[in-house]
Amino acid sequence: MRYWPAIALGLGVVASIALVFPLVQSQRHLTKVRAELGRTNEQLIKATSTISDLKTVLDSAQPQLTDRAAKLQELTAEGERARRDADQKMAAVNEASQSQINSVSKSADEAKAKVSEAEKQIVDLKEQLATASAQLQQTTDDRDAARSQLSETRSQAKTLHAALDQANAQIEQLKTELDERPLPPVSVSPPGENNPP
């Protein structure tokens, strides 16, 4: 009879250990899930920062594209004006009368010099046009690459959001499991009942 309280106490301790061990395991798993959630949040913050940087690059490239398109139009208009000027001067030379051949020859020489200068300007304008077109193409390629990278980053952000949602669901499930577990019964005897008479 003396050993019954000790045996009961021993069984109570063993039962407490058997109930506390799964609780400790669940707590460790919850800690790991929280750490993973923290890493996922960091990745999400980095992805958001990358998206912001890419938007800034895209926004800064847009005015350059507009400026280059305006320069291209301006160069094209100048080329057309130079060509029209040259055509008008050649037509004036051809329509001159025979009696003014000497003055027409002098005017023709001047016109040829101006045409030569206009042709040089046209060549220069064509080179500038080619350079502007190449720069425009490069800007377009950069913009397309930025859009592609932005799309890829958005896709990564969606993946990270899905992982974050899954981690949150696991945390909620573990919390629910912990809340649903009953606490082990603890028997407490009054101090006078343990001593035999």
**Which of 37, 125, 34 lies closest to 78, judged by CA?**
125
Confidence (pLDDT) at 197? 46
User: Does some domain include residue 193?
Assistant: no
User: Does some domain include residue 191?
Assistant: no
User: Does some domain include residue 177?
Assistant: yes
CB atoms within 10 A of CB 93: 17
Mean pLDDT of the chain: 82
User: Does some domain include residue 33?
Assistant: yes
What is the pLDDT confidence band of residue 166, given thresholds at 50, 70 and 90?
very high
User: Does some domain include residue 44?
Assistant: yes
**Which of 151, 96, 85, 95 lies closest to 119, judged by CA?**
85
- Angle separating helix axes 4-94 and 101-180, nearest 10 degrees: 170
CATH code of 69's domain: 1.10.287
Burial of residue 38 (number of CB atoms within 10 Å: 0-12, 13-18, 19+): exposed
For 19-54, the pLDDT digits (tens) are 777 777 888 888 888 888 888 888 989 989 999 888
Instruction: Tell me how far apart the alpha carbons of residues 119 and 124 are, in angstroms, rounded to a whole number.
Output: 8
- Please give the structure tokens belonging to residue 160: 């990270």
Confidence (pLDDT) at 34? 85
Give this prediction's pTM. Answer: 0.30
Whether the CB-CB separation of 168 and 37 falls below 8 Å is answered with yes
User: Does some domain include residue 137?
Assistant: yes
In this predicted structure, the answer to whether residue 56 has a pLDDT above a threshold of 50 is: yes
CB atoms within 10 A of CB 86: 20
The arithmetic mean of pLDDT across residues 109-137, rounded, is 88
User: Does some domain include residue 196?
Assistant: no
Domain ranges, residue 116? 4-186
User: Does some domain include residue 58?
Assistant: yes
DSSP annotation of 2 reads: T
Domain count, the chain: 1
